[in-house]
Structure formats: C-alpha cells, structure tokens
C-alpha cells in the first residue's frame, strides 16, 4: 500500500515539530526518514501510524483519506524504538496479541493462532524463544520479536522508529542487512526513522532527509549522496571540511585558491565543502589549487589513515589517505605538507 | 564496635516501641483467661462495632481503588493543565490532621453546616451516622492506592499501551490485558495499606461518629469506650483484634512486596532470571 502525506503541520505548544510536510512512499518501497534528533521524523512516523494527530494536513493510504481513521483501523505495524514488548507476556503471547484482540468473528482459532505465531517466529529465527519473557532476551532478539508481533496482523504498512537505535554496533549491522532481506522477501511498504546516515543509505530504497520540521531532500541513496540539495544534506551525509570563502570576479576564494561558482547559484558568501577522502597531499606545491598546512595529528588505525592538518590561516582540516599513500609520504607530526581538494561542493549563501 | 552499637540501639528501640506494646495488648487481653477474652466478642456492641468497621472498609477501599487507578492513569499517561495541582491534592489527606478532616465534614454536612438545612429537609443523616463515617474514612485513606500507582505507571510509560492500540486492541482490552497486569502488584500493595488504615482510623471517625453505642462505633472507637469504662480486658481484647489484623496486613504486605519485586525484576530485565528454572 502506498502512503501519501500532504501538507502536514504539527505543533507542540510554541514548537513547530512539522511544518507543511509532504511526502510520498510508493507501494512496496523501504523508505528511510533521516535527520538529526528533533527534526520531526518520529512525529511524522507517529502521525502516519495514527498515534498522533496532525494540526493540519492529510494522510492518505492508497489514495484513500485516512486522516481521521483511528489507529486501530489503519492496519499499520509499528515497531517502537524500545520495542514496547508486553513485559508480562511470553514471546509467543506477545506475537499472538494482535490476533487475540480481534473481534470474535474475525479472530482465528487457537490452532490457527498457534500456527501463525510459529510461522512468524520462524521468519525471525526465534521459534526456540517462544516461552521466554522479553526481559530474558537480548536487544537484537527483542527487536525481532517486536517485528514479528507487528507483522502478525498482516499490516499494510510497516513503520519502524529508530529500529536499531538501542543496539550495539555489531548487532546493528547484521540486523539492518537482515531487515533489508526481510523486506525483499515480504515486500510490505515500510518507513523507518533513523539519525544514522550510513544506515539509511545502506538499507533504504529511498531516503527522505529532514531538518527542523521540513523535508530538505528525498531521493534514492545515490541521488542524495551524489547531488545533495543543500549544504545541510551534504554535511549530514558524511564528514566534511568546511572552507568559508569570499566571492570576487565571479569566483570563490579561499586563501590562494580560486573555485568556479556553480552556474545557477546566487549569494554573497561561499561555503566550500570537501570530504576528507577527497583531499590529496604532497610534499611540494602541485596543481593550480593547493594550500600549505602542517600535520597536527595522525591516526593510522583502521582501513584509512586519518590525518589532521592545520592551515596557515589556522583552520583544522581532516584528511583520509590510503595506507600506501601514507607510506609514500612518510608523514610525521608537525611536518609541512601541501593539500589540494580533488572534488568540492560549493554552496552560496545570502549575506 | 559501632556496628553492634547501632544494631543494639535499633533493636532496643524496636522492642520498646513495637514489640512491647504488641505483647502488652495480647497479655492484657488474656489476663483473665481465654473465656473472659472470648466473652467480649459475644457482646452485641462489639459485634456491631466490627460490622460497622467492615461496612466502612467495604465502602472506602473499593472507592479509593477505583479513584486511585483513574487518577494514576490520568496523571501517568496524559499531559494536561493542572496536573501538579491534582498530584498535590491527592496528598492532602496525608498532610491534614485526621481530626481536622473530621471537622471539615461536620462543617459541610452537620446541622449548622453548609448542606445541613438541605439534608435535614430531606431527612438525610450523614454526620453522627454511618454515611459520615464511611465518608471521612474514604477521605483519609484516599492517597494510598493513587500514591502507589502514580510512580509505577509513570515509570512504565505509554509505549506498551500504544503498541496494543496499533495492534488493534480497544481501550478496554488495552487496560485489562496490558495496563492492569503491569500494575497488579503495586495495586494490591496500595489496597492492603488502604484497607489497614481504613480499619484503624480513629481521629476523623471519632469527630463525625457521635459515639452512639451499637450504632456509630467502629472498632477503634469501641476500644476507647471500653477502656474509659475501666473494662481493660474488653478494651485489650478488641484491640488485639486490630493488632492481629495489623500483623496479617504486615504479612500480606511482605508477600506482595516480594512478589512485585520478583516480577519487577523479571520485567525490567535482570538476566539472572534467564538462567534459573528455565
């Protein structure tokens, strides 16, 4: 089922959590709502679920207006950030809950419930935990129980609030791959909220980036990564170095470097952004755009060597170079180097 | 050395203030033998005092249980204006002397009181009658259940209820299948304390009762009357009933505490539970 959100506005007292947000989730897609905390992404998810009412705007399921449908009628599956498993029920009863509370004429028989729960626990590979209580499970297991509980009522939409937020790094990685595979298997339209850009880019078909209650950009992971619409998106999707520049004679200037301005952009000040792995280092000046800096810190642990530089004008710059490059340069602390950005993003701002 | 000194002080304090009175109650009650002790309970005034106390409890405890659940539910699960005022008001009966509480009810329902003329015009008697006793007892014991449930329900939050609603449960199903099981031990604990206090309340009841023998005397008031009449065996025999109930309450309370701690541990996720018995 496709979801459409039209011009949603939500205020909590003086605070505007969502400001005229519109959004489309095509049927069968897995969409990530990505943004820093407080950007309104969880509120939007809760409005789609019906757990929260919007002050203005509409929510449509498959083109049908669901704005005034109660949460029970929306047939959504919701996975809470802290799982919200029923603590006094076994795993089996947790998953069976949605089936047991159905009105009598729709309620499956005891045997059907049993089969369905077993099947769902099988889907998440947890059949063997059916008789345990939530507190006896690990975080990752609780997450999977929460997911199969949500799937038990055959929801038309699956909504997940920070599904991996409370898990440690290892479990997180394997669970998000697993979620992707599960989605490919069952194809239920899904929306998940996250503040982790890596997670969003890896798992989702489409990423919706939010900031201060508005949608800044949406698109496939490749689109948003390669063509970030604003400086915010660019900064949010990975580490960046920021060089404030001045504009004169149709170019942006930083130190002794000059950059061409983007064609359609307007503004008085320029911000030049460079990702750490887009920086090239050498011992002597090279190319037509480079600056002198000294090495402040080197962290050789990990697949890349991370180098922190200080420019002549006192800014700190992060650089990631390959191990081979690091050995070739034979860098040491306080050494003098020349650095050049290979690839830049320039955004112009007013004033 | 300090450790033993502290334990000795604490123990002797306990013996002096708790054990000694308890022992005295039972020894005085039985000082003229078991027969004299039992005779007291055959007395019609004693029986009617016990009956009145039971009626009072039967009114106050269910009312306050219901009120406690509703108030705690409202406070813990919803945001609204005046929430802090409500929390403070619930504590009021604890902070006001019971005698004052009793007087307030006289001022409202008494013949010179606010509603007095209207009540007497309709031949309704509240003060110096059973309804008044039930009313003040309810007032005095109002905070017990609510106070017990509010922090518990606040701590548990609303996510489980939301999960139930999303899964299609109605409001009532959510309450009986999710909320109530999660608070049952706290609720029981509150009810036990409320019950104990309702049976033992003296001050407020004394003010509104009028001390009419066989009609408006509760067990604690009856004890006082017997004592003032120098019927020591009688007074202590009836008092021993209250003391016995206090001990039963204490035992029940410990059981409930132990149970709720165990289920609390199960619920909050101490992993030791996973290894034993499963």
pLDDT digit string, tens, across residues B49-93: 888 888 899 999 999 999 999 999 888 888 888 888 888 888 888
Give the sheet arrangement for strand A214-219, strand by strand: A76-79, A157-161, A189-194, A30-34, A206-211, A214-219
Q: How far is CA A16 from CA A13, A56, A193, B131, in A?
A: 8, 12, 19, 52
Q: Which of A101, A137, A148, A150 to mutate to test the interface with B (most CBs of B within 10 A)?
A: A101
pLDDT by position in tens, chain A (length 351):
789 999 999 998 889 899 999 999 999 899 999 999 888 999 999 999 999 999 999 999 988 888 888 888 888 999 998 889 999 999 999 999 999 999 888 888 999 999 999 998 988 888 889 999 999 998 889 988 999 999 998 898 999 998 887 788 888 888 888 888 888 888 899 999 998 888 899 999 999 999 999 999 999 999 998 888 888 898 888 888 888 888 877 788 887 788 888 776 667 788 888 999 999 998 888 888 888 899 999 998 888 999 999 988 888 999 999 998 888 888 888 889 999 998 888 888 775
Confidence of residue B47 (pLDDT cuts 50, 70, 90): confident
Q: How far is CA A144 from CA A99, A163, A232, B169, B205, in A?
A: 18, 10, 33, 21, 57
**B269 close contact with A: CB closer than 8 A:** yes
Nearest CA in chain A to B180: A88
User: Using a CB-CB distance cutoff of 8 angstroms, which residues of chain A are in contact with residue B160?
Assistant: 84-87
Relative orientation angle of helices A110-123 and A91-100, to the nearest 10 degrees: 130
User: Using a CB-CB distance cutoff of 8 angstroms, which residues of chain A are in contact with residue B266?
Assistant: 87, 133, 135
DSSP code of residue A179: H
pLDDT of A264: 67
Q: Could A135 and B163 be called an inter-chain contact, meaning their C-beta atoms sit closer than 8 Å?
A: no
How large a percentage of chain B has pLDDT more than 90?
A: 16
pLDDT of A66: 87
Q: Could B166 and A135 be called an inter-chain contact, meaning their C-beta atoms sit closer than 8 Å?
A: no
pLDDT at B110 over 50: yes
**B177 close contact with A: CB closer than 8 A:** yes
**B23 close contact with A: CB closer than 8 A:** no
Backbone angles phi, psi at A101, to 5 degrees: -90, 5
Q: Which of A13, A72, A161 to mutate to test the interface with B (most CBs of B within 10 A)?
A: A72
CA distance A187 to chain B (A): 20
* Residue-wise pLDDT tens digits, B162-208: 999 999 999 899 999 999 998 988 898 899 889 888 888 888 888 88
DSSP code of residue A262: P
Q: Could B167 and A97 be called an inter-chain contact, meaning their C-beta atoms sit closer than 8 Å?
A: yes
Q: Could B168 and A76 be called an inter-chain contact, meaning their C-beta atoms sit closer than 8 Å?
A: no
Q: Which of B77, B152, B157, B163 to mutate to test the interface with A (most CBs of A within 10 A)?
A: B163
Task: Spell out where chain A has E strands.
Answer: 3-12, 15-25, 30-34, 56-61, 64-65, 76-79, 157-161, 189-194, 206-211, 214-219, 241-248, 251-254, 257-260, 269-274, 279-282, 291-299, 305-311, 316-321, 336-341, 345-349
CA distance B63 to chain A (A): 27
**B262 close contact with A: CB closer than 8 A:** no
User: Using a CB-CB distance cutoff of 8 angstroms, which residues of chain B are in contact with residue A150?
Assistant: 166-167
pTM: 0.78
Q: Could B268 and A135 be called an inter-chain contact, meaning their C-beta atoms sit closer than 8 Å?
A: yes
When CB atoms are compared, the residue of B160, B167, B271 closest to A153 is B167
When CB atoms are compared, the residue of B170, B182, B268 closest to A88 is B182
Nearest CA in chain B to A48: B166
Q: Measured between alpha carbons, how far is B49 from B47 in angstroms, rounded to an integer? A: 5
pLDDT of A90: 93
Q: Could B273 and A136 be called an inter-chain contact, meaning their C-beta atoms sit closer than 8 Å?
A: yes
Nearest CA in chain B to A84: B160
User: Using a CB-CB distance cutoff of 8 angstroms, which residues of chain A are in contact with residue B169?
Assistant: 72, 97, 101
CA distance A208 to chain B (A): 24
Q: Three-state SS for A274?
A: strand
Note whether A3 and A45 are within 8 A (CB): no
**B274 close contact with A: CB closer than 8 A:** yes
CA distance A138 to chain B (A): 9
> Can you tell me the ipTM of this complex?
0.82
Closest CA to A185 of A127, A124, A263: A124
Nearest CA in chain A to B270: A135
Q: What secondary structure does DSSP assign to A284-343, as a single string? A: S--SSS-EEEEEEEEE--SSSEEEEEEETTS-EEEEEE-HHHHHHHT--TT-EEEEEESS
Q: Three-state SS for A7?
A: strand
Q: Within 10 A of A288 (CB to CB), how many other CB atoms are there?
A: 8
CA distance A116 to chain B (A): 15
Nearest CA in chain A to B274: A136
Q: Could A132 and B164 be called an inter-chain contact, meaning their C-beta atoms sit closer than 8 Å?
A: no
Residues of A with CB under 8 A from a CB of B: 49-51, 71-72, 76-78, 80, 82, 84-88, 97-98, 101-102, 131-136, 149-150, 152-153
Collect all residues with Cβ–Cβ distance below 8 Å to B20 and sequence separation of at least 6.
Answer: none
pLDDT of B275: 34
Contact pairs from chain A to chain B, CB under 8 Å: 80
Nearest CA in chain A to B182: A88
Q: Could B274 and A150 be called an inter-chain contact, meaning their C-beta atoms sit closer than 8 Å?
A: no
Residue B94 structure tokens: 């604890």
User: Using a CB-CB distance cutoff of 8 angstroms, which residues of chain A are in contact with residue B165?
Assistant: 51, 71-72
Angle at B275 between CA B272 and CA B278, to 5 degrees: 130
Q: Measured between alpha carbons, how far is B160 from A171 in angstroms, rounded to an integer? A: 24
Nearest CA in chain B to A87: B267
């Amino acid at each position: 089922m496709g979801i459409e959100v039209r011009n949603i506005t939500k205020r909590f007292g003086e605070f505007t959590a969502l400001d005229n947000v519109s959004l489309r989730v095509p049927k069968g897609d897995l969409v990530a709502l990505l943004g820093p905390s407080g950007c309104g992404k969880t509120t939007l998810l809760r409005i789609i679920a019906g757990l929260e009412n919007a002050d203005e705007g509409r929510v449509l399921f498959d083109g049908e207006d669901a704005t005034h449908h109660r949460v029970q009628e929306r047939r959504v599956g919701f996975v809470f950030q802290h799982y919200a498993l029923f603590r006094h029920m076994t795993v089996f009863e947790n998953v069976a809950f949605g089936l047991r509370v159905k009105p009598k004429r729709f309620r499956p028989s005891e045997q059907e419930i049993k089969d369905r729960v077993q099947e769902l626990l099988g889907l998440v590979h947890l059949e063997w935990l059916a008789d345990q209580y939530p507190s006896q499970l690990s975080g990752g297991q609780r997450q999977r129980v929460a997911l199969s509980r949500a799937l038990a009522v055959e929801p038309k939409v699956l909504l997940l609030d920070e599904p991996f937020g409370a898990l440690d790094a290892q479990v997180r990685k394997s669970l998000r791959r697993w979620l992707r595979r599960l989605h490919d298997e069952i194809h239920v339209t899904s929306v998940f909220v996250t503040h982790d850009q890596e997670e969003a880019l890896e798992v989702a078909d489409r990423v919706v980036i939010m900031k201060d209650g508005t949608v800044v950009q949406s698109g496939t992971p490749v689109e948003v990564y390669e063509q970030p619409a604003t400086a915010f998106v660019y900064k949010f999707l990975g580490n960046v170095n920021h060089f404030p520049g001045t504009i004169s004679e149709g170019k942006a200037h930083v130190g002794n470097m000059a950059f061409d301005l983007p064609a359609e952009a307007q503004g008085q000040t320029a911000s030049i952004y460079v990702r750490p792995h887009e920086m090239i280092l050498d011992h002597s000046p090279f190319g037509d755009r480079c600056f002198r800096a000294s090495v402040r810190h080197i962290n050789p642990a990990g697949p890349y060597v991370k180098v922190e530089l200080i420019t002549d004008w006192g800014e700190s710059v992060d650089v990631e170079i390959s191990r081979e490059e690091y050995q070739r340069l034979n860098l040491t602390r306080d050494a003098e180097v020349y650095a050049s950005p290979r690839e830049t993003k320039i955004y112009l701002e007013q004033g | 050395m300090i450790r033993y000194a502290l334990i000795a002080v604490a123990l002797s304090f306990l013996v002096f203030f708790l054990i000694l009175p308890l022992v005295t109650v039972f020894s005085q009650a039985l000082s003229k033998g078991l027969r004299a002790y039992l005779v007291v309970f055959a007395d019609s005034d004693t029986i009617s005092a016990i009956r009145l106390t039971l009626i009072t409890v039967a009114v106050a405890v269910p009312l306050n249980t219901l009120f406690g659940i509703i108030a705690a539910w409202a406070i813990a699960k919803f945001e609204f204006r005046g929430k802090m005022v409500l929390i403070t008001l619930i504590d009021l009966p604890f902070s006001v002397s019971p005698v004052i509480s009793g007087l307030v009810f006289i001022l409202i329902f008494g013949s010179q009181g606010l509603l007095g003329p209207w009540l007497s015009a309709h031949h309704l008697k509240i003060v110096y009658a059973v309804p008044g006793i039930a009313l003040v007892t309810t007032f005095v014991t109002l905070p017990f259940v609510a106070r017990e449930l509010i922090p518990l329900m606040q701590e548990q939050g609303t996510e489980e209820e939301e999960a139930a609603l999303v899964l299609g449960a109605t409001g009532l199903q959510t309450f009986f299948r999710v909320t109530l099981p999660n608070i049952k031990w706290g609720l029981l604990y509150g009810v036990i304390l409320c019950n104990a206090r309702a049976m033992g309340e003296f001050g407020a009841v004394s003010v509104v009762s009028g001390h009419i023998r066989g009609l408006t005397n509760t067990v604690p008031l009856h004890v006082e009357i017997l004592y003032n009449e120098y019927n020591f065996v009688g007074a202590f025999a009836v008092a021993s009933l209250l003391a016995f109930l206090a001990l039963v309450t204490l035992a029940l309370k410990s059981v409930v505490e132990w149970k709720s701690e165990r289920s609390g541990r199960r619920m909050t996720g101490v992993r030791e539970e996973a290894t034993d018995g499963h």
